[in-house]
Chain A
């Protein structure tokens, strides 16, 4: 998908290049027992979108926290506008014009848009808030961001994630920010909202604001970014890379230090006589989706493609019994499941790796082995008496089989990376033994290097006879991994086809058009 020969899109460079707005040199940050940053260089030009790329744990978060004044560097210099600065705390960063928009949006739901924008630097006269002036200035900021439709007096809790993000950006602008750092801003947005985000980003850069953009999604970086800096193990390993033209393989090699193909495992093909394991018939959930029917055979991977909000996750959760279906039936191996009962689904052999690993999947403060055996610990018990030795052994077996790292099963699940947390969840269902495995956004928050590994794990499970259903907002992932694809739009299945017979454009066309099948 990359046009390697094109080099006219390179950013302004050479002798007449503008002086960098922000330069970070040799930034080192030690934590007790760990080197988070070990010599990072970053230079950002005014008016550019500078992308920061790296696997989880490469040091991106630490770097932006240093820039935001939340961490103090152990060594290194930060130069803003040609002047060396020290940023002792977050307020100082804002005063110097550096604003950070975190993934977990730091807005107060109970306050209005205007109150949120001026949170921490309220305009007041003798202690009385100047509501009219605040509203006027908020309106002006929102207009600059291309969102004049958001009313300053709206309560922020009523806005969508995208709206809250705009409020966060308006707050950054209210501080006259010249550098805005965005930490995975698209993670919570659907495709249309991402378009809006890009519009806002372009509006900002046209005014000369520099944007530091962090994202796992290469397609986005190609579209919005100017230059890329790659981090690995706390060091800068690639700098000044043109975002539009640097080959994907090169970026992945820099991030992982290996030559990894962002590749999907081969499809061995499902034999015609493979038995139908999961049979979903006319499934509906009042007001969310209707009349969803599909079958999954042993060894088959079925993918649900569509936009966020199309009802994909809801379909999975309903057939899993986590939501009570209002129509239709779900059968596993010919036996119909009771509606609205997770434990009936689990007993019948369905396993779900949920969308939100941290809030729906794991007991974060409990050790890894207890998370792996969360569905099965009673099986290792005799008369209610736990056998933790057997549990640990079963968990270790999965840790080895899935190459989960670190291998210590007594560590808290919280300490694992996204990819390894996902492996722990897969391990849970492997111990349980599933005929049907439901994967909701299996690679969200999982870095690029670990993705291919997860893909081949899922394929191996299917090859062993498991029926797999995958939901992902990354359409290439669904197309690459699945044997058969259902396109979901506005709560309805609008198209179904073998994965080879449809491409990303086809899916998007269907999704945009909505009802044409």
Chain B
């Protein structure tokens, strides 16, 4: 499936469809298959089992949801370093004694709502500072990353807040048709993200603003308001991720989501979204997330240390970005 809407390799005289969007997606799928082959060779049945596939997908689901929001942010020409911290903050806020008590009294969805509101509100703050305060997104979200982590520590007192609301745990730890609810959530967010990105005016504005902010402004697009929405959306995905963390680990701690922003940005960039903005792909992002989750899984099955995993992931990011730059140079010279 191509993520660029029906446009056949726009503007290039060379007939090679491989350099078009479809070709890039195929390249990513090939990379994913390669990782899977390595997994089968080194891990055998421990890798190639339905259980393990679900493990990989569950592993991918939280960062996957964040990566969908990040794809919008990066395509619009920004960056959001705060999503990891916001995931932690949302999970802590949604699992305080007060929230859990209220959830017991009213309904378990109170916890979900709390996380979503906290994430979105923090995203709105990011957006206001960036769009109207004209602070560079890197700095604004770096500040939010530090502050939100601190706030999460203050709220939790650095204690682990175990979730004891049965309705919540039952829902998020269940399987539906043999697939974990967390994976379903990722799937729903990804599909919704794809439609939002490729089929709506919101997606069009995102690409236009990232491709040329000044031209978009002079064409009458409400650029500032759109940037605000984008960071609010990213905050919302952090809220969703916070809930998912609670479901997966059954506990809210201030270290939830630590360093996720880096993994998420890496997955988005490896997936083919341009860091300078103006071009993004939801399908690529999903595959990028899956590649990283599968790699982690293969390394873990082979008892590779976390440190060695990180070295390998770092190398992969560099290679992917090098390939991407080659593409960018080629398309700029036409």
A455 to chain B, nearest CB (A): 23
Q: CA of A343 to CA of B223 in the docked complex: distance in angstroms?
A: 10
Give chain A residues whose Cβ lies under 8 Å from the Cβ of B201: 377-378, 381, 384-386
Asked if B218 is at the interface (CB within 8 A of a chain A CB), the reply is yes
Stretch from B60-68, B152-160, B173-181, B205-213 contacting the other chain: B205-213
Q: Are A366 and B218 in contact (CB under 8 A)?
A: no
Contact A377 B204, beta carbon cutoff 8 Å: yes
- Residue from A32, A343, A366, A414 whose CB has the most chain B CB atoms within 10 Å: A366
A367 close to B7 (CB less than 8 A): yes
**Among the listed A320, A322, A370, A412, which residue makes an inter-chain contact with B204, where contact means beta carbons less than 8 Å apart?**
A370
Contact of A34 among B5, B13, B217, B331 (CB under 8 A): B13
In contact, B221 and A374 (Cβ under 8 angstroms): yes
Of A342, A370, A414, the contact of B218 (CB 8 Å cutoff): A342
Interface string of A337-368 (1 = CB under 8 A from B): 00000110111000010100001111111110
| Chain B residues whose CB sits within 8 angstroms of the CB of A354 once the complex forms | 215, 218
Give B89-129 as 1s and 0s: 1 = Cβ < 8 Å from A's Cβ atoms: 00000000000000000000000000000000000000000
- For residue B227, give the distance in angstroms from its CB to the closest CB of chain A: 14
B11 with A362: CB separation less than 8 A: no
Determine which of B6, B8, B278, B334 lies in contact with A388 in the assembled complex, contact meaning CB atoms within 8 Å. Answer: B6
Instruction: Contacts A362-B215, A365-B211, A388-B5 given; indicate if A32 touches B14 (C-beta within 8 A).
Output: yes
The residues in A between 393 and 423 inclusive whose CB is less than 8 angstroms from any CB of B are: 410-412, 414-415
Q: Contact between B13 and A386 (Cβ–Cβ < 8 Å)?
A: no
Shortest beta-carbon distance from B231 to chain A in Å: 19
Q: Which of A13-56 contact B (CB under 8 A)?
A: 32-34
| A375 located at the interface, meaning its Cβ lies under 8 Å from any Cβ of chain B in the complex | yes
Which has the most chain A C-beta neighbours within 10 Å: B199, B201, B278? B201
Known: A359-B215, A360-B214. A384 touches B202 (CB 8 A): yes
Q: How far is the CA of A11 from the CA of B229 in the complex (A)?
A: 65
CA distance A362 to B218 in the complex (A): 10
Q: What is the total number of residues of chain A having a CB less than 8 Å from a CB of chain B?
A: 37
Indicate if B52 sits at the interface (CB-CB under 8 A): no
Is residue A428 within 8 Å, beta carbon to beta carbon, of the partner chain?
Answer: yes
Partner of B215, one of A320, A361, A377, A385: A361
Beta-carbon contacts under 8 Å, B1-39 to A: 5-8, 10-11, 13-14
A367 to B221, CA, bound (A): 18
- Tell me, rounded to whole Å, the shortest Cβ–Cβ distance linking A463 to chain B: 25
Interface size on B, residues (CB 8 A): 31
| Chain B residues with CB below 8 A from A428, complex form | 219
Query: For B255, what are the chain A residues with a Cβ–Cβ distance below 8 Å?
Result: none
Instruction: Report B-chain residues with C-beta under 8 Å of the C-beta of A347.
Output: 220
A345 and B218 alpha carbons, distance in the complex (Å): 10
From B8, B216, B278, contact of A374 by CB (8 A) = B216
Binary flags per residue of B274-289, CB closer than 8 Å to A gives 1, else 0: 0000110000000000
Q: Mask for A266-288, Cβ within 8 A of B = 1, else 0?
A: 00000000000000000000000
Q: Quick one: given A34-B13, A377-B201, A384-B201, are A410 and B215 in contact (CB under 8 Å)? A: no
* Residues of A close to B219: CB separation below 8 A: 346, 374-375, 428
- Is B200 close to A, CB under 8 A? yes
B334 contacts A33, C-beta separation under 8 Å = no
The reply to whether A412 and B334 contact each other, CB–CB distance below 8 Å, is yes
Assess whether A362 is in contact with B204, with CB atoms less than 8 Å apart: no
Q: Is B222 an interface residue (CB 8 A)?
A: yes
Q: Tell whether A410 pairs with B331 under 8 Å between CB atoms, given A360-B215, A384-B202.
A: no
CB-contact partner of A362 in B13, B207, B212, B221, under 8 A: B212
A363 touches which of B202, B203, B278, B331 (Cβ 8 Å): B278
Q: Please, how many angstroms separate the alpha-carbon atoms of A342 and B218 in the complex?
A: 6
Q: A363-B208, A381-B201, A384-B200 are in contact. Are A410 and B218 (CB under 8 A)?
A: no
A32: B residues at CB distance < 8 A: 13-14
- Residues of B close to A411: CB separation below 8 A: 10-11
Chain B neighbourhood of A320, CB < 8 A: 218
Is B200 within 8 A of A364, CB to CB?
Answer: no
Given the complex of chains A and B, what is the CA–CA distance between A411 and B13 in angstroms? Answer: 10
Minimal beta-carbon separation of A357 from chain B (angstroms): 9
Give the chain B neighbours of A322 by CB distance below 8 A.
217-218
Q: Which residues of B contact A364 (CB under 8 A)?
A: 211-212
Expressed in whole angstroms, the minimum distance between the Cβ of A398 and any Cβ of chain B is 15
- Distance to closest chain A CB from B226 (angstroms): 11
Name the CB-closest residue of A to B207: A366
Cα–Cα distance between A386 and B220 once the two chains are bound (Å)? 18
Of B214, B215, B278, B331, most buried by chain A (CB within 10 Å of CB) is B215
Q: How far is the CB of B147 from chain A (nearest CB, A)?
A: 31
Is A385 touching B200 in the complex (CB atoms < 8 A)?
yes
Residues of chain B with a CB closer than 8 A to A375's CB: 219-221
Q: Which residues of B contact A34 (CB under 8 A)?
A: 13
In the bound assembly, the distance between CA atoms of A361 and B80 in angstroms comes to: 27
Tell me which of A33, A342, A346, A381 contacts B200 (CB under 8 A): A381
Partner of A410, one of B7, B200, B207: B7
Please report the C-alpha to C-alpha distance between residue A350 and residue B10 in the assembled complex, in whole angstroms: 30
Per the bound structure, the CA–CA distance linking A62 and B202 in Å amounts to: 41
CB neighbours (8 Å) of B214 from chain A are: 359-360
Q: Known interface pairs A322-B218, A346-B220. Does A359 touch B200 (Cβ–Cβ under 8 Å)? A: no
Q: Are A33 and B211 in contact (CB under 8 A)?
A: no
**Cα(A428)–Cα(B216), bound, Å:** 12
Give the chain B neighbours of A345 by CB distance below 8 A: 220
**A residues within 8 A CB of B202?**
384
| A377-B5 Cα distance, complex, nearest whole Å | 15
CB distance from A237 to the nearest CB of B (A): 25
Give every chain A residue within 8 A of B199 (Cβ-Cβ).
Answer: 385-386
Chain A residue with the shortest CB-CB distance to B210: A363
A28, chain B: closest CB distance, angstroms: 19
CA distance A378 to B222 in the complex (A): 12
Report yes or no: B217 in contact with A342, Cβ–Cβ below 8 A.
yes
Q: B212 near A359 (CB under 8 angstroms)?
A: yes
Selected contact of B11 from candidates A361, A386, A415, CB within 8 Å: A415
Tell whether, in the assembled complex, residue A386 and residue B217 are in contact, meaning their CB atoms are under 8 Å apart.
no
Contact flag A367-B220 (CB < 8 Å), given A360-B214, A386-B199:
no
Q: Report whether A363 and B220 are in contact in the complex, using a CB–CB cutoff of 8 Å.
A: no
Q: Write out the residue numbers on chain B whose beta carbons fall within 8 Å of the beta carbon of A33.
A: 13-14
Whether B208 lies near A366 (C-beta < 8 A) is yes
Q: Looking at the assembled complex, report how far the CB atom of B213 sits from the nearest CB atom of chain A, in whole angstroms.
A: 10
Contacts of B208 in A (CB 8 A): 363, 366, 370, 374
For window 46-87 of B, CB contacts with A under 8 Å fall at: none
| 5 A-B residue pairings within 8 Å (CB atoms) | A360-B218, A365-B331, A374-B216, A388-B5, A410-B8
4 smallest CB-CB distances across A and B, nearest first, come from: A412-B11, A346-B220, A363-B211, A374-B219
Q: In the complex, given contacts A33-B13, A342-B220, A359-B212, what are 19 additional A-B residue pairs having Cβ atoms less than 8 angstroms apart?
A: A32-B14, A322-B217, A342-B217, A343-B220, A354-B215, A361-B215, A363-B212, A363-B216, A365-B331, A367-B7, A374-B208, A374-B216, A375-B221, A385-B199, A386-B201, A410-B10, A410-B11, A412-B10, A414-B334
